[in-house]
Structure 1
Amino acid sequence: MSEIRVRIAEPEEYAAIGELTVEAYTAGGHLADDVGYDAALRDVAGRAATADVLVATGGDGAVLGSVTVVEAGSPKAEVARAGELEFRMLAVSPDAQGRGVGEALTRAVVDIARVRRISRVVLSSRDRMTTAHRLYERLGFTRTPERDWAPHPEVPLLAFGMDV
């Protein structure tokens, strides 16, 4: 992909981001046993009220992907501890996968941590999101199995972290 721009999402993009996120999670088979999570994925306005929602767009302005960035102690934080920045709900349109969108979004999160002088970036990822795991590890994230958890017994989440 020749041009990917990552920035804070605008309210008029929230609906498209929500649908893209559900589409990406559905295409990857990540919603099959998590009834109800699609509503949380669609609620971009709710996330944006207490977190930063980043959007990746192409040269034509089309929404290609998104990620939610939260600080420790904020309402949407799940695994972040003091001194850590967490990202969640990273999603790339199935049509744009493999073109560097996920990497651009992840690097933007790391850049935010550096600007805010936050020393570590953390995340949880569904156990079967192996493509994402390879991206995170290639960018320098390592598994932190002691922080693995499950919001439901059938939804195991693996923790990753990276010092910045």
Structure 2
Amino acid sequence: MDSASSSIGIRRAGPQDVTAVAELGAHVFTVTFGHSVSAEQLQAYLNESYSISATAKEVADPMKDMIVATSGDGAIVGFALLTRGSNEPCIAHLESTIELQRIYVHPSNHGNGVGKILVKKLEDIAKERGFQHIWLGAWEENFKAQKVYEKLGYRFVGDHVFTIGDVVQTDLIMVKEL
């Protein structure tokens, strides 16, 4: 582990984190996906998915586990979400699945192992809860993320449509046995 990742703390997100997570989520989504949709469609999606109220709802949802990664000074530099009860047709034949969502790391911390730490922690939580498989969707144009997930043991099993406004995109579905 390098010095940057050794100073990263991981903890469950709480109400005190909602504003920072909402801001980070909106920023990372904009940087990663904003070029692929119109400004109006992007803003509508951000309002729906990364508002304070939407983020507070996710933090409080008993079917979700949100964790945050913090730097040495306590600033939130990443977050990730584990969701029970979601489904995906291409993995319907698998028993005991849980979804890994929104592995978001501030761009200034890319390459420091923060995302891997978040993924590992959520995989551990999924195992503790008795799940046998963990799955995620990765945007078909996010090659960097796909390579990271492959290195972490995820494999491609299908795809699904992800819509933002009137823009239809494809997410590649990846799964890992726990």
Equivalent position of 1:161 in the other structure: 175
CA contact (8 A) 1:67 1:105 kept: yes
Q: Cα distance 1:17–1:78, how it changes in 2: closer, same or farther (>3 A)? A: farther
Task: Write the letter of the residue equivalent to 1:93.
Answer: H
Task: Write the letter of the residue equivalent to 2:24.
Answer: L
Counterpart among 31, 50, 53 of residue 41 in structure 1: 50
Counterpart among 72, 87, 102 of residue 115 in structure 2: 102
CA contact (8 A) 2:14 2:59 kept: no
1:55-80 deviation digits (Å, cap 9, x = unpaired): 01112111010011111x2xxx2537
Task: Write the letter of the residue equivalent to 1:46.
Answer: K
Equivalent position of 1:19 in the other structure: 23
Task: Write the letter of the residue equivalent to 1:154.
Answer: V
Spell out the pairing of 1:2-151 with structure 2 (5 A cutoff). Answer: 2-30=6-34, 32-33=36-37, 35=42, 36-39=44-47, 40-42=49-51, 43-50=54-61, 51-71=64-84, 73=85, 77-79=86-88, 82-145=95-158, 148-151=159-162
Task: Write the letter of the residue equivalent to 1:161.
Answer: V
Question: Equivalent residue of 2:130, what SS?
Answer: coil
Higher fraction of helix: 2
1:11-60 deviation digits (Å, cap 9, x = unpaired): 11111111111111211235642533212133211212321111011121
**Which contiguous aligned blocks of 4+ residues in structure 1 show a shift greater than 6 angstroms?**
none
Q: Structure 2: 5+ residue runs without aligned partners?
A: none
Task: Write the letter of the residue equivalent to 2:150.
Answer: E
1:82-122 deviation digits (Å, cap 9, x = unpaired): 50111112110111111111111111111111111210010
| C-alpha distance in 2 between matches for 1:161 and 1:86 | 9
Q: Once the 2 structures are TM-superposed, how far is the Cα of residue 151 of structure 1 from its aligned partner?
A: 3.0
Q: Structure 1: 5+ residue runs without aligned partners?
A: none
| C-alpha distance in 1 between matches for 2:36 and 2:11 | 30
TM-score by length of 1: 0.87
CA contact (8 A) 1:41 1:89 kept: no
| C-alpha distance in 1 between matches for 2:34 and 2:103 | 12
Larger Rg: 2
| C-alpha distance in 1 between matches for 2:103 and 2:19 | 16
TM-score by length of 2: 0.81
Q: Percent identity?
A: 27
